[in-house]
Amino acid sequence: MTSIHNRYCQRLGISVPRIEDAAGRPEVTLFQLVVMALLERGGPMTVVEIAARLDRATLPARLVRPDFVVAVKKAWHGQPPLVRDGDQRLALDLLSSELSHIAFVTGLRPPVQPPPGPAELRLPEDDEPLSQVEVTAAFSGRSLDMYSSIRKAAAVLEAWGTPQTLDEINERLRTLTDYGGRIDTTTVRAWRTDLVVDSDGSLRLNPASSQIGAFRRDIRRMAATWLRASAERRDFKLGLVERERQRAEDERNLMAQASRTRRALLHLVPPGQEARGAAVIDLSRRASEKRDHAPNGSAEPADNATNDWASSDVQLFMANNLLKLADRLEEFDFLAGVDLRVSLRTIGLDPERWLLAELRPVQRTFRPAERSAVPVTLPAVVQATTGTSRVPADVATWGRLLDPKRLHDVAGRLATEARALCLLYEYGALHGGVRVRTRPGDRLLPVEWGLAGDPDVRSVLEAAMRACAS
């Protein structure tokens, strides 16, 4: 891969790939190589151009085809993130979540590395005294009846650092384990070593004993397993805290980046034809006004939106004023609308200049309930989602409306359609789907119109619950 960025890769935050680098990975499919070709180019390509690039690449035998033009068409069959850009070219929908999966499979994004394991536990040297932590680790929960009584006493004496009576030593051992280990007077009299000596009725450790090193090694071997497990638990908890901190920081960064993206709803008419009128709604300004008027400054759910547009800005461009549309659109980074790629090209603008949310459904049918598949049309989706019927009008209707004798009807119709499409976009971006019909319990038709970091229904509800709890 190269470090030089093109428009696609810059927006996705990846380096420009090469098809040859991804082709050797066993999971990669021909369809994913088509996506790689577009990422490599950084813009739309015709099927013939994609086929020629694949034909030039050195591919493994399983991906080689006798006719790449036919193979590319068969591999696509309407799958995201590929979208049509006119009759001949294919482009990438940069809002599609499929790009993340493809980037992972093709190696454009490295896999998430597991946290490093704990460092190897290194035991102190024999000349270093035992600590209370080590003695506790060695004796806790362990049966001590079969263990050397003199080393038990020596461990307690060294860890706590003062001479102690036999009763005090036994009390220490009792707090460390419930599984025996008591030392009696008869056992003390039988000791034949200078590791522990009796001094005026108290026992003390003899640091000059020749057995001090072996005694410390023995205790530390007993403690090693517990100390290693304790270190692993501590590192695991610290790792969880760090991952949560990083996740929260990444989420804040995504939210900040999404909030800085200037967005607009653009409605060009007739749809998919040479533009003769346009309506622009500043979505960023509208969202800001809704937050300012909502309780506690929270975002108002889109499905509670009404047709009250007193606070919104619907800007119309008609006749000679249409020439000013390009300058207005330069203020935005993100456009939502219908047939945007075709419509923008009719007025001489490159659709790749913006992130695009295409509101026209790609699916022909959808099964919103268990047994009923229904046809999917944009007017039906708009009506089911927003309650506005016969929007948007078809090309024939707009042809009649744009008749010079009826131009007085165009402005009102254009504003009405733009408002309905704006409500559709807001609902879809918030819920991750739009309605195909209004029956309760129906599933939503999935759409991907939002950016990473945008609020959704779940985040809004969680924020409301936190506000109620505080």
- Predicted confidence band at 118 (pLDDT cuts at 50, 70, 90)? low
Is a pLDDT exceeding 90 seen at residue 130? Answer: yes
Token pair belonging to 432: 């991750």
Q: What is the pLDDT of residue 67?
A: 95
- Predicted confidence band at 299 (pLDDT cuts at 50, 70, 90)? very low
Nearest to 259 by CA among 14, 458, 450: 450
Q: What is the pLDDT of residue 382?
A: 97
- With residue 356 as reference, give the H or E element that holds it: strand 355-358
Q: What is the pLDDT of residue 357?
A: 97
Is a pLDDT exceeding 90 seen at residue 47? Answer: yes
DSSP state for residue 179 in the 8-state scheme: S
Name 170's Cβ contacts closer than 8 Å, sequence gap at least 6. Answer: 182, 183
pLDDT digit string, tens, across residues 3-33: 456 899 999 888 899 999 999 899 999 999 9
pLDDT digit string, tens, across residues 235-262: 889 989 999 999 999 999 999 999 999 9
The neighbour count for residue 448, using CB atoms within 10 Å, is 18
What mean pLDDT value characterizes the chain? 88
Cα dihedral sign for 241, 243, 244, 245?
positive
- Predicted confidence band at 168 (pLDDT cuts at 50, 70, 90)? very high
Average pLDDT of the residues in 196-222? 91
Where does 7-105 sit in CATH, by number?
1.10.10
Average pLDDT of the residues in 222-247? 90
| CATH 1.10.10 domain position(s) in the chain | 7-105
Is a pLDDT exceeding 60 seen at residue 290? Answer: yes
pLDDT digit string, tens, across residues 309-337: 444 579 999 878 889 999 999 999 999 99
Is a pLDDT exceeding 90 seen at residue 34? Answer: yes
pTM to 2 decimal places: 0.77
Q: What is the pLDDT of residue 72?
A: 94
321-333: burial string, b at 16+ Cβ within 10 Å, e else? ebeebeeebeebb
Q: What is the pLDDT of residue 1?
A: 43
Q: What is the pLDDT of residue 402?
A: 81
- Predicted confidence band at 307 (pLDDT cuts at 50, 70, 90)? very low
> Reduced to 3 states, what is the DSSP secondary structure of residue 217?
helix
pLDDT digit string, tens, across residues 337-395: 999 999 999 999 999 999 999 999 988 999 998 778 899 999 999 999 999 999 999 88
Provide the percentage of residues in the chain whose pLDDT is more than 70.
Answer: 91
311, 270 contact by CB (below 8 A): no
